[in-house]
Chain A
């Protein structure tokens, strides 16, 4: 929250506010609160104290030497690989950075009720946690499909006192949860704050969330400079809605020498049509309040996304990423379900870290990205990767897919 102004809501031609008229006033109020309250030193201090004493920030930067050597044994392309350990945040992912910021802001705005959407359940857990901490009632919309595949997080939300509302419409995943949360918000807008979990949605959400998440990149930048004396050659993160990626990227946007890579979910493969690679294979459209890339057909109907990872299983993406792609500042690639699983296995066995399925996608592309960067530089690259979350919530999928013979009931 450096600058008081929250900007225009546009990143190039992307962004904006494509919502019902009923919500405009609430978005204006939120924009006003974000620039007048969240930007004050008092708010910043309160939030950074919470991040330090409750979340456990700063998170470490881990030198993943064994993984780096497993990916590139001869050190030809990947020199060093550093992991920004958002998995060590309280609740297990970067989502808490944003949830705490928004809930703190909502208390200042005197909102008495919080709603959220969630895919993997990490944002739901983070919001439920922040609501428990501030004593606010919390209701979380979650696609019925995700309720099934992320059961541990559903249990955590309930234990934390939140109400989890399974959404049965459409593809029964994240996009449908967001539709339902928008319906709730438009109905209860006077009392309720809608805590959006990614750098997506109508203005000011993409900017607000990016600012709350930019602590990731600010810390990582300082840490890597302290450790290596230099900036990294590339920064890499997974992109669902894009919040951990933009949180990492923001600190490096002005460093022309740092290449930025977002990794999307290719599901069964981009050519199969069953994927969530919105920036790689989508087109410009309007979904959930902003103009950005979307997966939709020629008639403008939004298509269902497919990914093994619930947090990446979304046919939209935050507008700033659309702009970073268009401007060429960042590049976006994709990893399939199978590639992500193989990468998860490698990370677990070389580094002793169980990554979230979301984060397994950028791990799968480190080799290819390092090769591209090294080729450009003419020397091995130093790469920083945002390890956005831990894989506890994914144990059932990981066990079923990686150790099928030892897992009862796995096919």
Chain B
């Protein structure tokens, strides 16, 4: 069993939901990202999403877009994200998902990208602008290295597509499914009703794909996490972590603020 599968199994055994935390690697710098990622794990995050910054993050809202710009300004990118992943892996067994856009991986070449990503101790990839239809080259290369590729399902995704994603999971490693709670970019605040129905929708996606399904987008507090996680298998929190990192004046402040949020989220789910 892979690290991600183990994390979901452990959570189920302990009757709690999966907590997935995102941060943009390189914001404010790579070494800080190592500490921040380990702090998330230490406060109980089950899975870390390490965001590889991209110059044109058109699926992200202002918080992550600004963080990406800052990270790129300080030498961020795929290599730096992998360096951070390796450093986290040396110190922790927490599952790591490399989260990003396709071009940095594509330009490296799918085979080579899968090789270096797996070598860094990453467990799966999540590529926001790579819908299942175009995913076979990377999916195949990733699978050959034991790497999963996490599919996204949106409120606009029709049941036939969800079924196709389920079918893919029979041939390729699909460790979990990411359900996008609302049409939009990252960073919006989800209303309680939206998050509750997203959780219910995630449960239907889980039934159709037979994969744990987590809800992301619009979750920025313990209360919202609890609502979304009631029926789903877990929640993803990203922009609020990124905002706290942006607001912190010192490394210590950033760490403390992120720890406080993750603790609150952990207690809620």
Contacts and interface: CB of A to CB of B under 8 A. Distances in A.
Interface of A: 16-26, 169-170, 175-176, 178-179, 182-183, 186-190, 283, 285-289, 291, 294, 296, 298-303
Nearest to B217: A22
24 contacts: A17-B133, A21-B153, A21-B156, A21-B180, A24-B154, A24-B156, A24-B157, A25-B157, A26-B156, A169-B65, A175-B56, A179-B56, A183-B60, A183-B61, A183-B185, A187-B183, A283-B107, A286-B103, A291-B106, A299-B78, A300-B54, A300-B103, A301-B103, A302-B103
A116 to B, nearest CB: 15
B158 A25 contact: yes
A20 B103 contact: no
Given A19-B131, A176-B56, A182-B58, 8 more contacts: A18-B134, A21-B154, A24-B131, A170-B56, A283-B107, A285-B106, A299-B104, A300-B77
Chain A to chain B: the 10 pairs with minimum beta-carbon distance, closest first:
A300-B104, A300-B107, A22-B154, A25-B156, A179-B58, A299-B77, A182-B58, A187-B184, A300-B103, A21-B152
A176 B57 CA distance: 10
Nearest to B54: A301
B130 interface: yes
B194 to A, nearest CB: 13
Nearest to A23: B156
A24 B161 CA distance: 10
A299 B152 contact: no
Contacts of B158: 25
B92 interface: no
Contacts of A19: 129, 131
Contact of A301 (B65, B77, B152, B153): B77
Contacts of B180: 20-22
A142 to B, nearest CB: 16
Given A187-B183, A296-B107, A301-B55, A16 B134 contact: yes
Nearest to A171: B55
Interface in B132-158: 133-134, 151-158
B128 interface: yes
B251 interface: no
Contacts of A288: 56, 58
Contacts of B79: 299
A18 B130 contact: yes
Contacts of A176: 56
A19 B154 CA distance: 12
A302 B161 CA distance: 30
A294 B128 CA distance: 19
Given A183-B58, A300-B108, A294 B152 contact: no
B57 A179 contact: yes
Contacts of A186: 59, 183-185
Interface in B27-56: 54-56
Of the candidates A19, A21, A170, A303, the one having the most CB atoms from chain B within 10 angstroms of its own CB is: A21
B72 interface: yes
Contacts of A170: 55-56, 69
Given A18-B129, A26-B156, A287 B56 contact: yes
Contacts of A189: 156, 183
Interface in B143-195: 151-158, 161, 180, 183-185, 188
B183 A21 contact: no
A298 B131 contact: no
Contacts of A294: 103
A20 B154 contact: yes
A30 to B, nearest CB: 13
A299 B108 CA distance: 7
B118 interface: no
A302 B54 CA distance: 8
Contact of A20 (B77, B105, B128): B128
B155 A22 contact: yes
B104 A301 contact: yes
A112 B83 CA distance: 47
Contacts of B153: 21
Contact of B106 (A169, A286, A289, A303): A286
Contacts of B54: 300-301
